[in-house]
Structure 1
Amino acid sequence: MRSTGSVKLLLFVSFFFVSVSASDTFTQCLETFRTNGNATGGTDFFGRPVNDSRDAVGLTYEQCMASCGTGQESFSWSVFSQQFSAWLLPWLALVSQLPFGAESRIDNLISVALTVGSPTLAAFSLVITALNTRWANDRFSAIKYPNHENAAKALIYLQQVPLRLTTRDGLLASLIIIPENDDWWDCLVDRLQQTYTWTIAAATSVAWVIIAFIFTIADSVMNLGNNVNSSGQGAGILWLWLVPMVVGWLWVPVCSFEKLRAAIDKANEIAFVATPEEPAQANYAPEINPPRLANEVSHMQGIRMHNKKGVFTQDAARTAPVFNYARIWEWHSAVEMIAQAFESADRMAKRHTPVNSGNEWTFAEERRVTHHRDNRIGSLGQVQAYCGFDGPEDERTPPMPSGVWKRIFVASLFALGLQWSTTASAAITVLFTPTTGLGCRSGSYILYGIVSTMIWLTLLLSSYLAHLAKLHHHDRGDSSSSGFDFANLAEGLATFLRRLSTFAAVCNTLCIILACVFQFSDVFSTCYCNSSVLGRGAQHAYNVIAPGYDYDITRAAWIGGIILASGYAVLFLFALHLILELSNDIINN
């Protein structure tokens, strides 16, 4: 079976090379046209008709079709290998340096497809993660209650997982209040410390791609007229967004799925929960009812990961960082709920009110100890009240903090800027390459950018619809209901949009790689593509064939496109660095 498949593949490849080499070069076609002095359809370099065919340096679209046929220019392996290895291969190799770390290989493959198929989505997830990091840092910076720094660190690292909070039975409040859970926070943060950071391999890969890109750019600008139709100048600029993506994720805290799950599970093994006071007791006595291990009291945990069956969108359960877009709403709600509980405890502590209101406030003997552990001991009901929860059975809807849409808006601007600075620059370099105008090459770049942007929009809408459906089910008190209502409609539409966008991302990834390969292999070197029929229309389209074209305008457009794309990439990284620099008070403490 393997030999049969190999034969079929060999026959297909042989047919492809035979088909692409069937046509003569356009230069030979023009020479044949020039021998007929009475022929019409010849043009100068600007598409203007010439009276004598011997003066023609190009052909109109109609004449090109008549004289040269509908096939492509002959395939040149030397040109293809040189262009492919110089303009595309380094970028494909750099994709391997993106952070993946999902639970399964399928999830990692989907993350690759979403990243390459929609750089807009990838950039959005990166920037929103950085903005969330800064916001969480600011949210906890004014709180002075024990473990507030560890809480901020843990929540920043846990942007990659869907969080489930349990406020009932004192589970969440006990994590915040009772001193026995200090080790819980230390254990969680220690295991969540950033591991995906600068390495020699990552730094070498980024440096190699940048150096190769600079040398290739310089060579192409100096030798502009050589193989201009198969040059990968535009393709190389199109992939420039990868550099800020790789570097950016090396700055942002990222963990693998295995480490995230192990950190939460290991910490929850040592989580304690306050116990309720006996009805006969006048005051809570810790020596009579000491805190117990949470896993001995309840199968739930104060903070844990949702499994894939417990989320309303499957992308939220995928831990690769590109899926952070799907966890925006739930993560913000979880952070706000924990921050409010810490704030409530901090206010009570500043008033010198202990958890057990029947005791007096105990002042610490050491100056560096601001909260004596005796002030943090109390019954389940007292711990709940200290955090601002109503009672042991309180299971409230997590609040949504202000400023979420503002951060989404800022992240969207950054993402769209990175996408279209590279896409527009790549299109400009081809639009001003003779024959100037919108053609197959520039059209494929623009289509790639449009599809990428639409994927980002639909996935963001999908995540918001899933969030609305979850809130509706929570308020109604069930997780799945029959009937046709808003929650079911929103949930179904969110699933449809997510699957449609994922499929579109896979197609967009394959199409842009094929578009680059087609350009290098002269598949686009046809009368239709070289004449820029898409932009000029068949009546005004023409194909510049003969050498000698003045490439000054083209060279200026190429240099301008390089400056635009690389300049925005540098600006993107600079802004990202500033955002994270302002967030390092807690992360690096």
Structure 2
Amino acid sequence: MAPQSTLSCYLTLVLISIVPVFAAVDFPRCFDEIRRGLHGTQGGTDNQGNPVANITEATSITYEFCKQACGTGGGPFSWSSFSQQFSAWLLPWLALLSQFPFGSKYKEDNLMSVILSLGSPCLAAYSLALTVLNTKWIARRFANIKYPNSHDATLILSTLQQTPLKVTTEGGLLASLVVLPENDAWWKELGNRLDYADTHTWTIAGATSVAWVALAYSLTIADAFSTISTDPNSNGQGLSGVGSLWLWMLPLTIGAHFLSNFMLLGLSSYPGYLQISPRCDAARVGKAINDTNEHSFVARPTGPAVNANRINKMRALCLHSERDSLHRDEDATAPIFHYARLFSFTLVVEQFVSVFYYASENAKEHFAVDGAPWEAGDGKTVDPANRKGTKAQVTAYCRPSAFSSPANSYPPPHVRQSHWGPDVFSRLFIASVVALALQWSTSGASILIVYFTPTVGESASYLLYAAVATVIWVIMVISSVITHHATIYPEYLNLSQQRRRERRGAALIAVFLRRLAKCLATCNAVWILAAFLMQFGNFYDRCYCNAAVIGFGKRAHEVMTLNGNDISAMRAAWIGGVVLAVVGSALFWGFIQVFIDPPLPPPE
């Protein structure tokens, strides 16, 4: 680059940094001049926007008078103030965001999970709520099933919620996996591999991040209440902005990473812990399933069972390979994408429940798989001799038959009545209510604090953020419903051409909605970060924002001095906002606690 060009670049940078300094408005000085009558005597008001006769008694001024006397520029940028606020109020939360669990196969999916969490806390809370609700639901579906490995199946299915599971029933694969005693080792080995006994949930980095954020928020509250002053432009920025708006990160991060200490996992010979956010490392989980499948057995048309490797590469349980764009979010294993797997995962669980259920009912009646006399064994569990048979016998044993009597048992016989699965919409509704409560308790607290802190202009930024975050969640949930409707499962392969066209159209709509929501989430994440940076840099400290022109219209006024009543009302609003944010986050944490450790079927 030529010296002249380099010099031009330096001069440009200098001018860019100097211009804001000269364009900045010294509001304290301007207000002092207004009170002394140097800019005229018309335009003074009280703090409710009512005109006052004497400018020296004015505590506020109209927006037009503010522009005339002070100009349209913003307050002066101070690097020391900016860096202090950034490091104290924003940086701890960004560090906590990095503690969210990832694990997707592709880096762009991990990046998108961060963007979606930041752009729509409601979606992140919804996915986590679905996880705990599914855990409770799985335990209830297996509650009255008494058959070998049903306890392990409950835990393994709960653990694999974040993975795109594929179940194969053809060739008696699933029935063989459940019934044959040779596969008992398969269940134990997969449980051990998923146990992650070498993983310590409370890492130093994670615990430090949580403690750092909690301390930063506590100090923000203390700082805000100790520095309430008559200057309306220096009150509660950290408390209302980053502090309360992002308090949702605490229960989500703790719920996603650190609740494993409350849920004992008894799959291995030593005690381990099951995270409420299940195993989401795609590579590690995939390897665990693939390696375990090498030791699975399958029943043959005649003769004893053989290792499945001697038949073909098909397995009863595996991960979906690369699929089309319709199922892109289902295949991503980062926890926030669990919203997309609610319906498909429900059907996977129901397939296992069905096989275990009928096997359990037949075992209660002391029917052996091969029709031979029942071997009592030790009387505590089903003797392995009762669980051997040919492929036809094993398959029939796990279906409704003349020698099973499940009429009065719970859960009821598995006969798929719909494309959606049982209890799915009740879980969707509960998770939605919980997620919306967390989103709007924290965002609402921030809006409340700013709205009752003269002036109210900045509350529009937080209201816009919360509204868009909610819209993103709505679009994503609708997309997941349409995606499941558009998915053609094996039992629906004989659909008419018209129905197939309808589902292809639905698939296009689902993909469009999902991509639209991701674009909105990206914009919303960028917007809220930019809003914080502009707040720290005094960009909002200008007549237009301080006068809340959008909200007040012609009655817009800039508050120069807060009186005692204003400060009392502001303090009450701050207390209410802090209580709302803390209670909302605590209730979400309490919801996680209620569902975290459901009773499991006893080991056989």
Counterpart in 1 of 2:74? 72
Write the distance in 1 (CA, Å) between the matches of 2:531 and 2:399. Answer: 58
Counterpart in 1 of 2:290? 265
Write the distance in 2 (CA, Å) between the matches of 1:83 and 1:10. Answer: 29
Alignment of 1:205-284 (within 5 A): 205-225=209-229, 227-228=233-234, 231-235=237-241, 236-250=243-257, 251=259, 252-255=276-279, 256-277=281-302
> Would you say the 8 A contact 2:540–2:546 is kept in 1?
yes
| CA displacement at 1:313 relative to structure 2 | 2.1
| CA displacement at 1:8 relative to structure 2 | 6.4
> Would you say the 8 A contact 2:149–2:603 is kept in 1?
no
What letter is aligned with 1:430?
A: V
Write the distance in 2 (CA, Å) between the matches of 1:154 and 1:41. Answer: 71
7 and 245 in structure 1: CA distance in 2 versus 1, 3 angstrom threshold = farther
386 and 536 in structure 1: CA distance in 2 versus 1, 3 angstrom threshold = same
Write the distance in 2 (CA, Å) between the matches of 1:174 and 1:10. Answer: 77
Q: How many residues align?
A: 564
What letter is aligned with 1:272?
A: F
Counterpart in 2 of 1:383? 394
- Among 554, 561, 579, the residue aligned to 1:563: 579
Could you tell me the TM-score, scaled by structure 1's length? 0.90
Counterpart in 1 of 2:408? none
What letter is aligned with 2:116?
A: L
| CA displacement at 1:45 relative to structure 2 | 3.0
398 and 305 in structure 1: CA distance in 2 versus 1, 3 angstrom threshold = farther
Write the distance in 2 (CA, Å) between the matches of 1:131 and 1:8. Answer: 58
> Would you say the 8 A contact 2:330–2:340 is kept in 1?
yes
CA distances 1:434-467 after superposition (whole Å, capped 9, x unpaired): 12x4x2x211111111111111111111111111
- Among 525, 539, 557, the residue aligned to 1:509: 525
| CA displacement at 1:498 relative to structure 2 | 0.7
| CA displacement at 1:231 relative to structure 2 | 2.1
Alignment of 1:287-298 (within 5 A): 289-298=303-312
What letter is aligned with 2:544?
A: Y
> Would you say the 8 A contact 1:175–1:181 is kept in 2?
yes
Gaps of 5+ in 2: 260-275, 402-414
534 and 317 in structure 1: CA distance in 2 versus 1, 3 angstrom threshold = same
RMSD: 2.8
8 and 494 in structure 1: CA distance in 2 versus 1, 3 angstrom threshold = farther
Counterpart in 2 of 1:179? 181
| CA displacement at 1:139 relative to structure 2 | 1.1
CA distances 1:360-385 after superposition (whole Å, capped 9, x unpaired): 11110x344x1111111100011111
472 and 133 in structure 1: CA distance in 2 versus 1, 3 angstrom threshold = closer
Say which SS state the counterpart of residue 234 (structure 2) adopts. Answer: coil
Could you tell me the TM-score, scaled by structure 2's length? 0.88
Task: Tell me, yes or no, if structure 1 residue 475 matches structure 2 residue 479.
Answer: no
481 and 506 in structure 1: CA distance in 2 versus 1, 3 angstrom threshold = farther
Say which SS state the counterpart of residue 59 (structure 1) adopts. Answer: strand
Write the distance in 1 (CA, Å) between the matches of 2:366 and 2:602. Answer: 29
Counterpart in 2 of 1:542? 557
CA distances 1:161-200 after superposition (whole Å, capped 9, x unpaired): 1111111111111101111111111111111125472223
> Would you say the 8 A contact 1:473–1:487 is kept in 2?
no
Alignment of 1:22-61 (within 5 A): 22-33=23-34, 34-36=36-38, 38-61=40-63
228 and 206 in structure 1: CA distance in 2 versus 1, 3 angstrom threshold = same
> Would you say the 8 A contact 1:336–1:400 is kept in 2?
no
Task: Tell me, yes or no, if structure 1 residue 429 matches structure 2 residue 431.
Answer: no
> Would you say the 8 A contact 2:224–2:236 is kept in 1?
no
484 and 380 in structure 1: CA distance in 2 versus 1, 3 angstrom threshold = closer
Write the distance in 2 (CA, Å) between the matches of 1:112 and 1:424. Answer: 22
What letter is aligned with 1:524?
A: Y
Say which SS state the counterpart of residue 164 (structure 1) adopts. Answer: strand
Out of 378-387 and 62-71, give the one that drifted further: 62-71
> Would you say the 8 A contact 2:81–2:536 is kept in 1?
yes
Say which SS state the counterpart of residue 97 (structure 2) adopts. Answer: helix
> Would you say the 8 A contact 2:224–2:235 is kept in 1?
no
Counterpart in 2 of 1:284? none
6 and 486 in structure 1: CA distance in 2 versus 1, 3 angstrom threshold = farther
Say which SS state the counterpart of residue 72 (structure 2) adopts. Answer: coil
> Would you say the 8 A contact 1:470–1:487 is kept in 2?
yes
Write the distance in 2 (CA, Å) between the matches of 1:490 and 1:78. Answer: 54
Write the distance in 2 (CA, Å) between the matches of 1:123 and 1:92. Answer: 17
CA distances 1:491-511 after superposition (whole Å, capped 9, x unpaired): 000100111111111111111
**% same residue:** 41
> Would you say the 8 A contact 2:146–2:601 is kept in 1?
no
> Would you say the 8 A contact 1:167–1:396 is kept in 2?
no
Write the distance in 2 (CA, Å) between the matches of 1:398 and 1:167. Answer: 19
Counterpart in 2 of 1:312? 326
Write the distance in 2 (CA, Å) between the matches of 1:345 and 1:199. Answer: 42
What letter is aligned with 2:487?
A: K
Say which SS state the counterpart of residue 75 (structure 1) adopts. Answer: coil
Write the distance in 2 (CA, Å) between the matches of 1:261 and 1:205. Answer: 30
